[in-house]
Amino acid sequence: MIQRTAARIEAHDPDNPLPTWQSLLARSVTSPGVLLRRLGLDHSQLERGAEAGHHAFPVRVPEPWLARIRPGDPDDPLLRQVLPLAAEGDEQNGYVRDPLQENDASPTPGLIRKYRSRALLMVTGQCAINCRYCFRRHFPYPDHRLSPEQRDQVITTLRASPEINEVILSGGDPLAVNDRLLSGWARALATVPSLTRLRIHSRLPVVIPQRVDDALLEWISECPLKLVLVVHVNHPREIDDDVRQALAKLARVGVTLLNQSVVLRGVNDHADTLAELSECLFGAGVLPYYLHAFDPVAGAHHFDVQDDEARALVRELQARLPGYLVPRLVREVPERPGKTLLDVGMESPAGG
């Protein structure tokens, strides 16, 4: 029998303690073969060459995510986001290891400056889930691992940059590290006079909703900076009751909740899917924010959706949804001062 509800069963068994997010993260599936076997799929679904891709960019699938994948369906959109394919080894012109040129935008280890008023802080290289389309799948995280002295240098650099009013915790996934370290960062950043907001980009409340525990909520509720959490959801089936409860807890302590998606071939490249996603997000208290055009990262070309097709999808969303549920279609272009908004060519105004 496929053990797709193991985590949920354990969480409600009175004879077992509730699983911590750390234990769920530690028990993540890290083998493509095990992933297929757990889903009742034949190992032949893993083409030759996919194993090599797995070793270059390891598989990581936590149990709560695994429980949402349909057993026996090799085309499941949640499975497609995490299962390596042989196509990852194909070289394609224009698909590069650092599509956003972030290696050239780091004045201080761990700190990336691409925009005037915001700075991105690389808290960790670890993620709760390894998405096969990740634009940082080749990022040199060891070069950005911070010593205590370098953490002090980050604060010094920010103090010397009064134009920066927002710091973005990123990675990896910043919520993959412990709350003691995160609360320490929050306290240190709050001492920088120019900072007013702390933004966190994280998939963890979605892939392991147990991450939203008392320790996380405590330091967030005590942080003097305005907290914004940008989650990353690409498909409506990523949102279940546990995720809704986790997001509601964050909203209750004053966190502003936004979502960013990436338009992905075989995952959400249909207007029906994206419309349902926006409705599900809003029902969970999250405002659709960005729909990212695909970043041309090496090893992920099979996810690419051309800009004209993405524009057509957003035009369809504008026809179906109120304007506040239509995410902005954007592309991040290196060396530009902000996200580039892609004109979708709608002749009439967005929905009211």
pLDDT tens, residue by residue, 219-264: 999 999 999 999 999 999 999 999 999 999 999 999 999 999 999 9
The string of DSSP codes covering 98-152 is -TT-GGGS-SBTTEE--SSSEEEEEEES--SS--TT-TTTT--GGGGPPPHHHHH
* Domain C-terminal end among 56, 89, 122: 89
Q: Given a cut of 80, is residue 8 above it in pLDDT?
A: no
178 belongs to a structural domain: yes
What pLDDT shows up at residue 297? 81
Q: Are residues 165 and 217 in the same domain?
A: yes
Q: Are residues 217 and 310 in the same domain?
A: yes
Distance CA 40, CA 31 (A): 14
Q: Are residues 56 and 130 in the same domain?
A: no
256 belongs to a structural domain: yes
Poorest-pLDDT segment among 59-63, 170-174, 274-278, 311-315? 170-174
Total count of residues recorded for the chain: 352
What pLDDT shows up at residue 125? 85
Distance CA 202, CA 180 (A): 17
Q: Of all residues in the chain, what percent carry a pLDDT higher than 90?
A: 66
127 belongs to a structural domain: yes
pLDDT confidence bin for 45, thresholds 50/70/90 = low
* Domain C-terminal end among 28, 57, 89: 89
Higher pLDDT, 160 or 339: 160
* Domain C-terminal end among 89, 117, 137: 89
Q: Are residues 106 and 83 in the same domain?
A: no
> Closest Cα partner for 47 from 85, 91, 76?
85
Higher pLDDT, 155 or 107: 155
- Between the ranges 85-94, 136-145, 181-190, where is the mean pLDDT highest? 181-190
Q: Are residues 71 and 197 in the same domain?
A: no
306 belongs to a structural domain: yes
Q: Are residues 81 and 133 in the same domain?
A: no
**Residues 317 and 274 sit within 8 Å (Cβ to Cβ):** yes
Q: Are residues 44 and 193 in the same domain?
A: no
Q: Are residues 246 and 294 in the same domain?
A: yes
What pLDDT shows up at residue 61? 97
What pLDDT shows up at residue 6? 34
pLDDT confidence bin for 44, thresholds 50/70/90 = confident
Q: Are residues 37 and 158 in the same domain?
A: no
Poorest-pLDDT segment among 14-18, 27-31, 153-157? 14-18
113 belongs to a structural domain: yes
68 belongs to a structural domain: yes
Tokens standing for residue 220: 């967030």
Distance CA 118, CA 167 (A): 6
Half-sphere exposure of 20 (CA within 13 A, CB side): 8
Q: Which CATH number does the domain housing residue 221 bear?
A: 3.20.20.70
350 belongs to a structural domain: no
Q: Are residues 111 and 175 in the same domain?
A: yes
Amino acid at the residue 293: A
Q: Are residues 111 and 77 in the same domain?
A: no
Query: 266 lies in which domain range?
Result: 102-341
Q: Are residues 37 and 180 in the same domain?
A: no
Domain total of the chain: 2
351 belongs to a structural domain: no
